[in-house]
Structure 1
Amino acid sequence: KKRVKRAFKDGSSPKKKSKIIDSVEEIPSEESAIESDGEQHVDSYEDDDEIETPYEKRIRLAKLAVAKAKQAIDSDDEDPMATLTVRLQEEALQARGKLFFSVAEKFKPVSLESIICLFGHKKTVTCLCISSDCKYIYSGGKDASIIKWNIKDFSKLRVVKGGRKGSSSPYHTGPVLTIGISDDSKYLATGSADHSIIIWSPETLEVLFRLQRHRSPVTALSFRRQSHMMFSGDRFGRVCVWNLPLTDILQDQGAATKIEVLSICGLSLERCVSASGFGGAGICLWKVEQEVCVQYTVKNPAEYSIECIYAVNDDLYIGGSATNTLYLWHMSRGSPICKISPAHPPTSSDLDSVTARPALNWVTSVTGLFSTDLLATGSSSGHVQLWRLHLESEKAFSFGLGSENVGDDDEEGSDGESRTKQARLRVHHDSAKLERIPKGEFQLGGFVNSLAFSNDGKWLVAGIGQEHRLGRWEERRKVRDAICLIPINIPFKQASDIWM
């Protein structure tokens, strides 16, 4: 594990606190009355009194968390204070990326006939994301277009067509390679081969502003959990940190690794993890506050590149490679703690002789239901596999109401105690392993360029294309470019929706 410190190119510290924009409204308490005159103080920061200190922010967020937790407590609870305590503990752990839920065992087999396909892109579907309220899907393609879909009735709501390459179009003029949405669905971001990032209004798909910092195709972007901080990476290895709605860059790491960034995933803390391409297969953990880049290797000299990355929480990272291998890293280890090869079948029986691949497939996409043991990967042959992240029992203990003993989750009790059946785990582990979920595989065809779970656990959405999202190195798959919705129907509810 290597640590690389990078100085900022402008020679000045990016951590300026002169402008603080917080979208969370303050909640009045008995100790302090909050007066609101309805005016927004976004651009007026001339007075020092208007600057919120870190201490004041912690107090405000603590009051907000207590108020939210009190509203969620059922009046029929026998011990409301115990319920409140546990809920606050859950929210604190989730905010730090330490909370873990076991839901993969609830998966039931899904028939191929129940999979729903949506068609709208004229070329390969390269990326997609789902709004946090699980109502809309946003997709991008090589046709430079952005499409908004309604999950409820599977209709196409809005379409934004891109311009021709080199034109003065206000939209993208090249393939849309990556897309992401903030957890509060306030900002939708897209990165393109035209070297630009466009921030959209998710509701209307109107352009809010454009970010021009990268000098090569923007291949990856992601938002920090429950925040407007955004991370972006490009083919030259540059990683940029943004704090929306400010258009000025917060931090520019430059080409710290000098290796292309193929995928990136934001964490709960001010950090992100990225996947490196050809020339240095591995992942990098970018610590914004410390201005440090920590590199993790694969310990495999035959490895080409890590094509995709997903953070289960702030400690565990899963990456898929071009050699059909799945790697699992822990933050405290410089090399993988688990490796599975092959992750997908090397060939597929339903592909004809033109597109059949006797060689190993790529792991082209990976995703998961955040803070749970449910994961999914996609390959270059259209194969989708569900995985369960298994933690050693002696390395984790249950997190439930009034009990911190291993094995108490199976006990029957009051309504409050029944909440422990979701197997809340506070993760303290040194090792873990990945297991295939029985009957949890689907053959869709084409390249699975993107995967995403809905937060309610009802859908796994896959972006299918005839080509890989970043190039045309192989014969086109004889499939239709589509967005496939797989109804997994796993009951799950996030512990909290409070911004921390």
Structure 2
Amino acid sequence: MSSSFFLKAGSKANKKTKTPAATKGKGVKTAAKSGKSGFQNARAEGPVPKKQRRPKEKDEEIESDDEEYNSDLGDGGHNTLAFSSDEGEEETAQDKRLRLAKQYLSEIEKQESERAEDRELGQSVEQRLQTDYLDSVGKLRRNIAGNLKTNEVTSVLKHKLHHMPICALALSPDGKFLYAGAKSQFVLKWSTQNGKVLDKCDVLPHREEPETGKKRRSHVIAICLSTDMKYMALAEGGPHIQIWCPQTMKHVKTLKGHRDSVAGLVFRKGTHDLYSAAKDRSVKIWSLDEMAYVESLFGHQTGVTSIDALSRERAITAGGSDCSLRIWKITEESQLIYNGHRDSIECVKLMNDEHFVSGGVDGAISLWSALKKKPICTTQLAHGVGENGVANWITAIAVVVNTDLVATGSCDGFVKLWQTNPNARKLQQIQSIPITGFINGLTFNADGTKLYVGVGQEHRLGRWWRHKEAKNNVVVVDIVLQNATGK
């Protein structure tokens, strides 16, 4: 309305000034009545003779009107000047980008100056910027498996609250904190620097039983952390998802929507979008910014056993007994289906946006390309066979994202490290780490120099077998590379 008002007002003014001859005498009279507008009209007609110009005293009277108006604002009208100066000094979007870029460069120079010995600082900064860019767009590839020299078990994390099998592990992005869940009702927060428990949370009081009212054993079978360490999501053995603050270990919210036990959880990298997979054959998307359910994805014919995601709006899932893997293109509302295992698929992990690794009950480990519906290569009986002649399940997989290093676990007493080469269609075992028990959880730190292993006497989902000689604890393995950063 205001814009139309000014347009109308402008059009009337134009009509009055179209014929100056007709309004020559009326302009002075209007000026006497309305002050400024009349002065503008007189100026528009041409220069005013000296004898018609207003004396200096009247000009001061007009300025005094402005002062009287500004006095209502306080400080004698100085607020207007102060406001305009602040407006001029306000940082623009381009200045902000420039300032942040300079700050980012200074931080990188500081970090690289501490590392660089034989190389020039400029080359180090250039390589770091290129690495960060490729990592942000999901195209970074690093070959570190070939540089692996030795590995050894350096420490074991044990606690009386975790007297039952360890089921799930989650490592903070900076590698300083490890969160472990077990078949007991507690999640422990460990310091990876000194190996001490910093805090704990009790899952049981926040568990909401189904309408049947039947009590069931409380155990945590999946944990995931948001990139900014604001949220921690827990699968507590039932259909609900508990949201906690990983810093304070306080309960935030319980998300309800699944109709059967939740088997896998993952945050999309750099966001608060949570993807969950459950035995009800569905994949659900949650927004933790609003603490709300977003949508459900259907396609698997049996319960979903594992889920993973990176920075893109995509998730990959293992469909258990339907022997299929699916990549869900969320924005495109479509899915890609992959088949290759002969039995139930228990776990899947993305190596990068183009390749992933899977393992199942048939004991096979498969390397896949997102562009092919069949695996690039498969290693049968990767962890051997048991005493009954049946293949040992692949119970856990971990990868160092954007590299060629993969770790797998089973119940054969070893954690195995593999080197992947999609171009050569190879999946080659490079080392074995002896650890007795069921390997229920595996996670690497960011550069692949440490591997955390969650060990239990039983499988994380049931009590079909029991290794009495095993210990329920977290094993820390140091992996030595030829160059410490693995780059």
Normalising to structure 2: TM-score of the pair?
0.72
Aligned partner of 1:153 in structure 2 is: 194
Number of the residue aligned with 1:118 = 158
* Aligned pairs for 1:194-233 within 5 A: 194-233=238-277
More helix by share: 2
The aligned amino acid for 1:463 is: G
Output the CA distance in 1 between the equivalents of 2:259 and 2:227.
28
| Aligned 8 A contact 2:268 2:275 in 1 | yes
Q: CA deviation at 1:340?
A: 0.5
Q: Which residue does the alignment assign to 2:426?
A: 433
Distance 1:468 1:481 in 2: 11
Which shows bigger deviation, 120-129 or 485-494? Answer: 485-494
In structure 1, how many angstroms separate the alpha carbons of the residues matched to 2:486 and 2:246?
Answer: 22
Displacement of 1:64 in angstroms is 5.5
Q: For residue 316 of structure 1, what is the aligned residue in structure 2?
A: 355
Match of 2:52 in 1: none
Partner of 1:470: 461
Letter in 1 for 2:351: V
> How far is 1:91 from its partner?
2.9
Alignment of 1:283-432 (within 5 A): 283-298=325-340, 300=341, 303-347=342-386, 356-392=387-423, 432=425
Q: Is the 8 A contact 2:131 2:140 kept in 1?
A: yes
By how many angstroms is 1:70 displaced?
5.4
Contact kept? 1:96, 1:269, Cα under 8 Å: no
TM-fit CA distance, 1:476: 4.7
Is residue 457 of structure 1 aligned with residue 448 of structure 2? yes
Separation of aligned partners in 1, 2:333 and 2:370: 17
Task: Give the 3 Å change call, closer, same or farther, for CA 369–30 of structure 1 in structure 2.
Answer: same
Task: Supply the distance in 2 between the matched residues of 1:486 and 1:199 (Cα, whole angstroms).
Answer: 29
CA drift at 1:382: 3.3
Question: How many Å apart are 1:462 and its aligned residue?
Answer: 0.6
Superposition deviation, residue 390 in structure 1: 2.2
**Partner AA of 2:311 in structure 1:** S
Partners of 1:71 and 1:163 in 2: how far apart? 44
**1:481 — aligned with what?**
472
Q: Which letter does structure 2 place at the counterpart of 1:180? A: C
Residue identity in the other structure for 2:104: K
Distance, in Å, in 2 between the alignment partners of 1:474 and 1:318 is: 26
Spell out, residue by residue over 1:429-488, the C-alpha distance to the aligned partner (whole angstroms, 9 max, x if none): xx5321111xx2122111101100011433101111111111222345432211111111
TM-score (norm 1): 0.70
CA contact 2:150–2:480 (8 Å) conserved in 1: no
RMSD: 2.9
> Match of 2:233, SS?
strand
Helix, strand or coil at the partner of 1:91: helix
Distance 1:66 1:291 in 2: 40
Aligned counterparts of 2:388 and 2:455: Cα–Cα separation in 1: 17
Letter matched to residue 386 of structure 1: L
Contact 1:460–1:488 (Cα < 8 Å) also in 2: yes
Instruction: Look at both structures and tell me which one has the larger radius of gyration over its CA atoms.
Output: 2
CA contact 1:361–1:381 (8 Å) conserved in 2: yes
Name the stretch that deviates more: 114-123 or 307-316: 114-123
For residues 47-86 of structure 1, the aligned pairs below 5 Å read: 68-69=104-105, 71-73=107-109, 80=122
* 3-state SS, counterpart of residue 467 of structure 1: coil
Aligned to 1:258: 301
Q: Residue type of the partner of 1:249?
A: Y
**Contact 1:130 1:138 survives alignment (8 Å):** yes
User: How many equivalent residue pairs?
Assistant: 385
Provide structure 2 residue ranges, at least 5 long, that are not aligned to the other structure: 1-89, 211-215
Counterparts of 1:179-198 in structure 2, within 5 Å, are: 179-198=223-242
1:190 deviation in Å? 0.8
Query: Of the two structures, which has the highest relative contact order with CA contacts closer than 8 Å and spacing of 6 or more?
Result: 1
The secondary structure found in structure 1 opposite 2:421 is: strand
